[in-house]
Amino acid sequence: MTSDYAEFQPYYGPTDEVEAGRVWRLEKLKDFEWKAKCAGIQDDPEVVAILEEMRRETAELEKISEKEKEEGGAAHWWCDGEYDDVRADEANDQGTRSYKNKEYGIAFDDYTEAIRLCPSKAVYHCNRAAAALKLGRNDIAALDAEYAIQRDAGNLRAYLRGGKASTLNGRPERAAELYRRALELNPGNESALEGLSQAELAAEAKAAAKAAEAASAQRGERAALPLHSLAEAAAADLLHAAQEMLRSSPDKEALKCAHVEALIHCSLLCALEVQTSVDSLLCALEVQTSCDSLLCALEVQTS
């Protein structure tokens, strides 16, 4: 059976940037629509106008993206037409000096400049991956390592840094793959052996945690939902937060449950609004009936 959460599965391979942009725009539009619905303002004229404008702008961006794709694809951030090998080497050397001085933020910026001036050199991407790891920017480190490997499949350091970044990112399976490829290049490499051991242990722990979460979810070991509904803004924020957390960790059963619970909160809110409207109508009918009875009694008394 296909999972309802397939749309949240992350993709870590070479990214189609046009498709990534399309998905991001549609997700943001859906998020806005959901929050408006949960807040009960989806029919407000101002909100309707904003949504229509968002849809028009999104459609226009889709056309521009498709045109760029047909013309050869959207450019990477570094493709601005300015290439200079000499200045790139100077920026890289400055970055290395800053790195040795433990000025990792400055080194990161220097390596970024080197990449911008000469994006084809694997060493620049690999060096920035090292600086990114020191700064805790593990997503960038993993991506830079992948770029370095694409440009130089024999770059041992790129595999080691990519493996470390992937482990820190909670992707031990990919980390193990990178460490194994590093060992193919340099059998017996201590960093690769140690990294592979850690990645395999992390992968086992991740699998065990996933199994435990699934078993817990099957047993229903979660706190019961409150009988009262949340406030509009709270329900919308809860749903948005649940969607974002699930998107970042789609394998966690607890986050799947939290997402469903957030949807239930929004449903309860909508149901409460309907019930409130019905109660108000019944109350109005009772008041009208009472008034009619009073008027009738007064008429009889006057007669």
Annotated domain spans of the chain: 6-70, 85-219, 232-302
Token readout for 130 is 């090292």
Q: What are phi and psi of 197, to 5 degrees?
A: -60, -45
Q: What is the pTM of this model?
A: 0.53
Token readout for 180 is 């194994």
The total of other beta-carbon atoms located within 10 Å of residue 283's CB is 10
Q: What is the pLDDT of residue 279?
A: 52
Q: Which of 193, 194, 257 minimizes the C-alpha distance to 225?
A: 257
Give the rounded distance of the alpha carbon of 229 from its chain centre. 27
Fold of 85-219: 1.25.40
Q: What is the pLDDT of residue 72?
A: 57
Q: Which of 148, 180, 151 minimizes the C-alpha distance to 163?
A: 180
pLDDT along the chain (303 residues), means of 10: 36 50 75 82 87 85 72 55 83 96 95 91 95 94 94 95 94 95 95 95 88 72 61 69 72 70 64 49 53 54 54
Q: What is the pLDDT of residue 15?
A: 43
Count the alpha carbons within 13 Å of 98 in the hemisphere toward its beta carbon: 20
Q: Residue 105 in contact with residue 114, Cβ under 8 Å? A: no
Q: What is the pLDDT of residue 19?
A: 66
